Amino acid sequence: MKRAIMIRHLAFEDAGILAPVLAARGIAATYRDAGVDDLREVALDAGDLLIVLGGPIGAYEEAKYPFLIDELELLARALTTGTPTLGICLGAQLLARALGARVYPGRAKEIGIAPITLTEEGARSCLAHLTVDRCVLHWHGDTFDLPEGAMRLASTDITPNQAFARGSALGLQFHIEAEPSTFERWLIGHTGELAAARIDVPALRAAAARELPAIARGGARVIDAWLGGLAPR
C-alpha cells in the first residue's frame, strides 16, 4: 500500500491515532472531505487503502445529504476492486450499506466508554489486540444488520453488530482512533447531541481522561495488526 485515502465528515473526527500507525508503515494519509470534495474524482490505485471516518448523520440520509450517494459508490468501487477498506462508526454503517445491509436507528444511543464482547471470530481477529477489558469509545445512535457473508466480530447488549469483517473490509461501529489530547473537540462539536441525550459531559470528560490513553494504545495495535494481515496488492 502506498497511500490511505480518508473520507472525513467532521474536522475533529479525523485519523487521530491512526496517522502515526500508517506513517510507521510508510503509508501516506490524504483526506477527502465529504460534502466538499468531489468523491467521484477519487481514483483507487493498486496499493491504496480506503478509510471512511465517523460523523453525526445517518448512512440512509442521502435525501438530506446527497454526497452520501457518491460515498456509497466509492465504497462499492473499493469492494469491487478489493481495495482494503476500514469503516469507523458512520463509516462502518456506510460500509454495511454498500454491502447490501440495512442501516437504521438503534433502540438506544450508545455514548461513552464501555466494553464490547468479542465473538469467537473476533477473538481470533485484530480486535484481540484491544485492552484486556475491551473498553472502547461508543458514540452512535444508528445500527445495521450484519452484511451477507460477513463475520460478526463484536457486540454489546444494545448493539449486536459492533464490528464485522468481510474479505479485506473491516467495519467498526465504535471508536478506537480518538486522540486523547484532542478529545475536548468532540465534546464541543457534539454539544447538541450530548445535551439531547442528557449525557453528563464532565463525567464523560473524566472517563475519557482515565480510559482513552489505553484505548488509543490498543487501537493502534488493532490497526497495525489489520494492516499487517492484508495481502499485498
**Partners of 135 in the beta sheet?**
115
For the chain, domains (ranges, CATH) are 3-228 (3.40.50.880)
Q: Is 191 a residue whose pLDDT tops 80?
A: yes
> Which pLDDT tens digit goes with each residue over 87-100?
999 999 999 999 99
Q: What is the mean pLDDT of residues 23-46?
A: 95
- The closest alpha carbon to 10, from 170, 182, 180, belongs to 182
Q: What is the pLDDT of residue 123?
A: 96
Rg (CA), the chain: 16
Sign of CA dihedral 130, 131, 135, 137: negative
